[in-house]
Amino acid sequence: MERFINILVIDDDIKNQKGLKAILSGGGNNVLFSNNIQEAIPIIQHKEIGILLINIDDPEFGGMELLHSLREMSSQRSMYKIVLTQFKASGVKLVKGLNEGAVDYITIPFNPNLIKAKIEVFKTLYYKDQRINQLLSNIFPQTVLNDLNLYSKFSPKRVEKGIVLFTDFIEFSSKAKDLKPISLLKKLDYYFTQFDEIASRYKLEKIKTIGDSYMALAGVTEDFPEPAIRVCLAAIEMRDFMLNEQSIAKALGKDFWEIRIGVHMGPLVAGIIGTKKMSFDVWGDTVNIASRAEQMAEPGHINITEVLYNEVAPYLEVEARGAIDIHKRGGKLKMYFIKSLKKEFCLYGEGKIASSALRIQCGLSNVDFEHMRKDIINNLKSLLPEEVVYHDISHTLNVEKALVRFANLEGIDEQSMLLLQTAALYHDAGFILKQENNEEFAVKMAAEKLPRFGYSIEQIETINTIILSTGSAKKPKTILEKLMCDADHDYLGRPDYYNVSTKLRKELANYGRIFTEKEWVQYQLDYLVGTHRFFTDTAKNIRLQGKKARISELKQKLIDLQTEE
């Protein structure tokens, strides 16, 4: 598995910069350079830097002051800081640098093997930190993690309008006994993973699964607006997902699972319990009522209580149920089944996808990216001709993956990332219709389809400009266009280059362009040497070395073929 890291070198000595570039290039290292502190600060603020190398020998350079500033910044605590110094002349400064948060030092002049060994150690630690942070974020809400990092504790929190959602599978016990344990686990994992993705899209916080029950919160651990609407949108999507799964199973003559959902809003207390294997949880009558609301729901329905209905009534089509007995707890509460969103709050009045205005009101992106992504992927799978074996769905997904990787290293913001990913998913859609000038059809397809998912005219124009920049006669201008072009040719510097290029050769043959072995090698060299270039420093740092290796290999192969003649 390839892993990548930003390494920032802050040093005004050109000789040192050249030496470190030669030593550190390759191996997933995106090495950045800054001649002074003023240049470095925006880079640190804009990009996620894994390892920082900074010269501390010259007091006027300001390296020590920057170390002190970074030590005070909680957002930069995961950065590994290494000082560059002429050790014998700077022993006192070195100690001071280590006291200011540096984890190690590199002496000048450089020892390449020692530097590589040290960098590999801290890269390993950085990747472990990333993994640990990811695991912790899957266990605790971000607000809890922030408090634990700052204060080493999380105080219990009372919320007056917390919203609790429960789901449950109908007759789970009877269905589970007929399944092997591993099959049961896979099925539960499949459904709960989908629920996780839906909860995340609507900024809900998953709390836990209890057997076949799934529990999530809104308005407790986050401060996004309209939590009541967001939780209802998530519940509708969960229900519709399960209904769709049910329809597919019926069509195939297979058994299916049914779901019921209950939601309630009211006061609750959130906190952490235990000192070992700690868990975040919520307590209060609101949790009990939400659980009862789920139990009172019918298969394939979302049951909400009156207090939540009063918050969301203007936006939803509902079915009143009257007062329902709350078993065990006692008493009655008015309840309602959610049928759908009202048409005026849906894109194209279809009753399923929330309008851009409603999404923005809820603090969400105006775009329904996930449904758009599923739509274009399904189109590519079903409509691309069989002859298209290189510009296929796997190529599109690989380009999207490379684009996300490059954009993350570049520090691209969330909205720009959304536009880039959309462009990546559509950039080869033109091959559905034709091979030459396929970008023209791709932009027409994007302009026709994207409004259905809430994209604005301005966003579509930007996406189409990015797509058109991948044309053979085009030169990218903006950073988004350059990233797109580099991601489209990411494989040129990857170890799997020959596997991918073989698919390209086969696709060209499918359209009547046949090469001899010698012609094919020369064709690749002509493109790699005479036509292609990487545009961003990130792509150059990550892939140029691999591309040069491919060029050398192909040149040698051409010589071997000529010798055989």
How many CA atoms does the CB half-sphere of 485 hold within 13 Å? Answer: 25
> Measuring CA to CA, how many Å separate 27 from each of 23, 31, 483, 544?
11, 11, 20, 11
**Per-residue confidence (pLDDT) for residue 34, from 0 to 100:** 93
- Same domain (yes/no): 342, 299: yes
Instruction: Give me the residue label for tokens 């913001």.
Output: 413
b/e code 381-402 from CB counts within 10 Å (16+ = b): eeebeeebbbbbbebbebbbeb
Contact 205, 141 (CB under 8 A): yes
Dihedral sign of CA atoms 463, 465, 468, 470 in order: negative
Instruction: Give me the residue label for tokens 């996300």.
Output: 404
N-terminal to C-terminal alpha carbon distance within the chain: 40
Q: What is the 3-state secondary structure (H, E, C) of 46-74?
A: HCCCCEEEEECCCHHHCHHHHHHHHHHCH
**Per-residue confidence (pLDDT) for residue 69, from 0 to 100:** 82
**Per-residue confidence (pLDDT) for residue 75, from 0 to 100:** 55
**Does 144 reside within a domain?**
no
Q: In the numeric block, which tokens belong to residue 193?
A: 């993973």
Residue 263 domain boundaries: 157-361
- Same domain (yes/no): 373, 328: no
For residue 109, what is the domain's CATH number?
3.40.50.2300
Q: What angle do CA 176, 196, 296 make, to 5 degrees?
A: 60
**Does 149 reside within a domain?**
no
> Measuring CA to CA, how many Å separate 183 from each of 178, 208, 260, 519?
10, 21, 22, 51
> Measuring CA to CA, how many Å separate 472 from each of 393, 438, 468, 476, 488?
20, 11, 9, 11, 12
CA distance 395 to 424: 10
Q: In the numeric block, which tokens belong to residue 439?
A: 């970008």
**Per-residue confidence (pLDDT) for residue 88, from 0 to 100:** 57
Q: What is the 3-state secondary structure (H, E, C) of 70-116?
A: HHHCHHHCCCEEEEEECHHHCHHHHHHHHHCCCCEEEECCCCHHHHH
Q: In the numeric block, which tokens belong to residue 103?
A: 């984890």
- Same domain (yes/no): 222, 302: yes
Give the pTM: 0.86
- Same domain (yes/no): 340, 408: no
- Same domain (yes/no): 181, 324: yes
**Does 150 reside within a domain?**
no
CA distance 315 to 131: 40
**Does 72 reside within a domain?**
yes
- Same domain (yes/no): 163, 233: yes
- Which of 407, 404, 494, 550 minimizes the C-alpha distance to 28? 494
- Same domain (yes/no): 373, 353: no
- State the CB neighbour count (10 A cutoff) for residue 363: 15
Q: What angle do CA 451, 486, 49 make, to 5 degrees?
A: 100
- Same domain (yes/no): 211, 343: yes
For residue 382, what is the domain's CATH number?
1.10.3210.10
For residue 293, what is the domain's CATH number?
3.30.70.1230
SS3 32: strand
SS3 8: strand
Q: In the numeric block, which tokens belong to residue 435?
A: 């091979």
- Same domain (yes/no): 84, 216: no
- Please count the structural domains in the chain: 3
CA distance 67 to 113: 26
- Which of 212, 219, 223 minimizes the C-alpha distance to 167? 212
> Of the candidates 309, 337, 361, which is a domain's last residue?
361
> Of the candidates 313, 331, 361, which is a domain's last residue?
361
In the sheet that holds 5-10, the strands lie side by side as 29-34, 5-10, 51-55, 80-85, 104-107
**Does 219 reside within a domain?**
yes
**Does 548 reside within a domain?**
yes
**Does 145 reside within a domain?**
no
CA distance 300 to 134: 33
Q: Cα-atom radius of gyration of the chain, to the nearest Å?
A: 28
- The interaxial angle of helices 414-426 and 457-468, nearest 10 deg, is 60
Return per-residue pLDDT of the chain as tens, 565 residues.
Answer: 678 999 999 999 999 999 999 999 888 999 999 998 899 899 998 999 999 999 988 777 888 888 888 876 655 567 899 999 886 545 667 777 777 788 899 989 899 999 999 999 999 999 999 898 888 888 888 888 877 777 767 778 899 999 999 999 998 877 777 788 888 889 899 999 999 999 999 999 999 988 889 999 999 988 899 999 999 999 999 999 999 999 998 998 888 889 999 999 999 998 887 777 778 889 999 999 999 999 999 999 999 999 999 999 999 999 999 888 776 666 789 999 999 999 999 887 665 688 999 999 999 999 999 989 999 999 999 999 999 999 999 999 999 999 999 999 999 999 999 999 999 999 999 999 888 888 999 999 999 999 989 999 999 999 999 999 998 777 899 999 999 999 999 999 999 999 999 999 999 999 999 999 999 999 999 999 999 999 999 999 999 999 999 999 999 999 999 888 7
- Same domain (yes/no): 417, 552: yes
**Per-residue confidence (pLDDT) for residue 460, from 0 to 100:** 97
- Same domain (yes/no): 286, 340: yes
> Of the candidates 83, 109, 139, which is a domain's last residue?
139
- Same domain (yes/no): 259, 214: yes
**Does 508 reside within a domain?**
yes
Q: Which residues contact 296 (CB under 8 A, 6 or more apart)?
A: 262, 303, 324, 326, 335
What totals of helices (H) and strands (E) does the chain contain, helices first?
21, 13
Q: What angle do CA 499, 501, 507 make, to 5 degrees?
A: 110
